[in-house]
Each structure stands twice: as C-alpha cells, then as structure tokens.
Amino acid sequence: MPDGTTTSTISATGLLPQELEVAQLIVSALSLEVAPEEIEPEAPLFHDGLGLDSIDALELALAISKAYEVKLRSDDERNHRIFASLRSLTAHIEKHRAR
C-alpha cells in the first residue's frame, strides 16, 4: 500500500485510487446499482453493508482472479477479514497481486 497521507482522495467517501479501482471492479462484476466512488471503504461488503451474498463472493473471486491474478480461498477466513470491507479487500489484493 502506498502512503495514504500523500495520496489525494478522489471520492466523496475518501477512497484511495486503488480502492476506487477495486470498487469499480466490484460494481461491474456484480452489476450493482451503486456508484463505485460512493462505496464506504470501511463498511461491510456482505450482509449489512453492500448486501452481497455467497453467490457474489464466487463472482467477485472470479473477477479478482482475472484482474489481479489473486486467488481467494476459504481458509483466508473469507467473509470475516478480507471481505470485511472494501479497504481490507484492497489491502489483500495489493499484498498478493502479481507484479
């Protein structure tokens, strides 16, 4: 992750550029009715937050695999840590993505 303090925010909810990119991926992969820049970075993606379900998890895993070559796994504590929020999902992708 780059230093967030020097990166200018470009969305109403304060998304970093990488987060906005992942937000765009989520919205397009799942055909959500929400604008990417409106996703709250710390809000839960599943259930209460964006309201995603296990089908979305499969779709999202596919999209992330294609875009970043990052493979999601259940032993990554899927619904708890990585999918906890847009921010945590982006951090996971940044950490594991193919360079």
Partner 1 sequence: MPPEQDLPLTSRGGAEVICHRPAGPVTIRRFLGEAAALARRLPASGHAVNLCADRYRMLLGFAAALLRGHPTLLNADPSPHRLQALAAAYPGTYLLADTPIATALPLVPVGEEQAVDGLGEPPRIPAGRVVAIAFTSGSTGQPTAHPKPWGALVAAALAAAERFGLRPEDGPPSSVLATVPPQHMYGFETTIMLPLQAALACHAGEAFFPSDVLDALDALPPRRLLVTTPLHLRALLAEGRRPAPLSAVISATAPLAMSMAEAVERDWGVPMLEIYGASEAGSMASRRTAFEPDWLPYRGIRMGQGEVEVPGLGAVPLADATEPAPGGRFRLLGRRADLVKLGGRRASLAELNRLLAEVEGVEDGVFVAPEDIERNPAARLSAYVVAPGRSAEEILSALRLRLEPVFLPRPLVLVPALPRNGLGKLTQAALAELRMAAAGP
**Footprint on this chain of partner 1 (rule: CB under 8 A):** 30-31, 53-55, 57-59, 61-62, 65, 71-75, 78
Closest CB to partner 1 among 7 and 65?
Answer: 65
Burial class (CB in 10 A: 0-12, 13-18, 19+), 12: exposed
Q: What are the φ and ψ backbone dihedral angles of 96, each rounded to 5 degrees?
A: -110, -5
Q: How far is the CB of 29 from partner 1 (least distance, A)?
A: 8
Structural tokens at position 60: 């999202």
Closest CB to partner 1 among 30 and 50?
Answer: 30
Closest CB to partner 1 among 3 and 73?
Answer: 73
Closest CB to partner 1 among 38 and 69?
Answer: 69
For the four alpha carbons of 44, 82, 30 and 8, in that order, the dihedral sign comes to positive
Structural tokens at position 13: 């909810």
Q: Are 20 and 11 in contact, with CB atoms under 8 Å apart?
A: yes
Q: How far is the CB of 6 from partner 1 (least distance, A)?
A: 35
Q: How far is the CB of 11 from partner 1 (least distance, A)?
A: 24
Q: How far is the CB of 74 from partner 1 (least distance, A)?
A: 4
